[in-house]
Amino acid sequence: MAANGPAQTHGLRPGMPLAQAMALAPDAVVAPHDPDTDRRLLDVLAERCGLYSPWTATEGACGLWLDVAGCGHLFGGETDLLDQLSGKLKSLGLTNRAALAPTPGAAWAWARFGDPAAPILEEMDQLAPLPLAALRLSPRMVGDLAALGLRRIGELLDLPRPQVSLRFGRDVLWRLDQALGVEPEPISSIRPVAPHRVHMAFVEPMSRVEDIAEALRRLLAELCNRLIQDGLGARRLDFTLFRVDGTLCRVEIGTGAPSHDPGHLFRLFRDRLADIRPGFGIEAVRLDAVATQAQTAEQSDLDGPAGGGDLPHLLDSLSNRLGPRRLMRLLPHPSHIPERCVRRRPPGAPTTVGEWPAGRYPIRLLAHPDPIDAMAPIPDAPPLRFRWQGRLHQVVRADGPERIAPEWWHEDAEERDYYRVEDTQGLRFWLYRQGHYGQPEPPRWYLHGVFP
């Protein structure tokens, strides 16, 4: 059994049998433990805390990590950030304690055992009086250490390091080093955080597009330098703008091939900058290389202006401007069903190019075959005339039928008999009939495409 704050004032304690608790406080509300729902709530909270920092993660069953490095100024300082964060959680009905420290380990300790009146840990020395449980050691280890007379972090610090390691195992020293920042502690954020990230805060909030563009230009120059050093090119970049009122907006661009050319990347952003609404002003901006890829010397040749090799650049510009999945190459797909024989692929140079089987194809295939009224003189003959979109077409030339059977795994689909017909105007159409004459259900005619 667990017990919240008000319950504990009635003498209830975590771990107490339920019967005993009900005897002590008959009015207590009892809810069954639902770890899955708790987990989901914690995940939602972690997302929500993205307002305070782009880097958030959950910790254990009831903790949240936030890396707020460089975020404090957005909220009027780190104290205000903690106040706002804590107040927000409280307004959601969640008891919480927040602390800020230079390392995750120290923050963990300070949030649970530190001084709630001073939630920011300024000096590592302040950890010394805290109990050893603050080091995230197992209860058993804490008990063992207590049996040896060690109760506080400071006492552990006073011991020679080799002796600690030797007597209590590597874990104790490891947790101590994590708290002190000697040992790095990698924690993964719920949102992937780009290893290549640059940011810039402004003294005065800005709202002019030109100023934002200039800031972006500088960030790109810095980011690209770092990418070049690492032999990488960007595939996706997020440009995040932090507004004065604590909200943010984001512009994302993608490239077809890795690039570390600041000029090219800036052009991809340029036309999107006009869409930014600065609100009361932009206080800080951040640029993340969300996806990167090794960029070989050969690929970087594409960046050069020579040889008309700037097709990848053009495709990037067009893709970003027209919107996702609006620019493509149309590749053969092995299907004899007309509407399935084309596959849409990203516009970069196709790696595999097959061929469509020889034959006559309509130049325009309707996305949905259009039902038409058709007059056929005898079964299995092309229609003499048909009406489509309110216009009557007199057929003067016809070819067919070509039977296209459905793919066998589409059990209820019917076969189609296709005809190529030409009307008196020289318009050429692709019609098909579904069903047969002489059946209870009359056959249906459709127009599926137009020929050149």
Q: Which residues bind another protein (CB under 8 A)?
A: 271, 308-311, 313-315, 317-318, 321-323, 326-332, 341-342, 345, 347, 349-350, 353, 355-356, 359-367, 370, 389, 396-397, 422-428, 449-452
**Which residue's entry shows tokens 């200039």?**
214
Q: Which of 42, 67, 39, 63 is nearest to 53 (CA)?
A: 67
Nearer to another protein, 260 or 313 (CB): 313
**Which residue's entry shows tokens 């949030």?**
111
Nearer to another protein, 238 or 316 (CB): 316
| SS3 track for 417-445 | EEEEEEECCCCEEEEEEECCCCCCCCCEE
Nearer to another protein, 228 or 311 (CB): 311
Cα–Cα distance measured from residue 260 to residue 235, given in angstroms and rounded to the nearest whole number: 9
Cα–Cα distance measured from residue 129 to residue 12, given in angstroms and rounded to the nearest whole number: 28
Nearer to another protein, 1 or 311 (CB): 311
Nearer to another protein, 228 or 450 (CB): 450
Please give the DSSP secondary-structure letter assigned to residue 190.
S
Least distance in angstroms from the C-beta of 424 to another protein: 7
Cα–Cα distance measured from residue 49 to residue 41, given in angstroms and rounded to the nearest whole number: 12
Least distance in angstroms from the C-beta of 438 to another protein: 32
Cα–Cα distance measured from residue 196 to residue 238, given in angstroms and rounded to the nearest whole number: 11
Least distance in angstroms from the C-beta of 311 to another protein: 4
Cα–Cα distance measured from residue 365 to residue 338, given in angstroms and rounded to the nearest whole number: 8
Least distance in angstroms from the C-beta of 127 to another protein: 56
Least distance in angstroms from the C-beta of 423 to another protein: 8
Phi, psi values for residue 131, rounded to 5°: -65, 160
Least distance in angstroms from the C-beta of 312 to another protein: 9
Nearer to another protein, 72 or 347 (CB): 347
Cα–Cα distance measured from residue 341 to residue 325, given in angstroms and rounded to the nearest whole number: 18
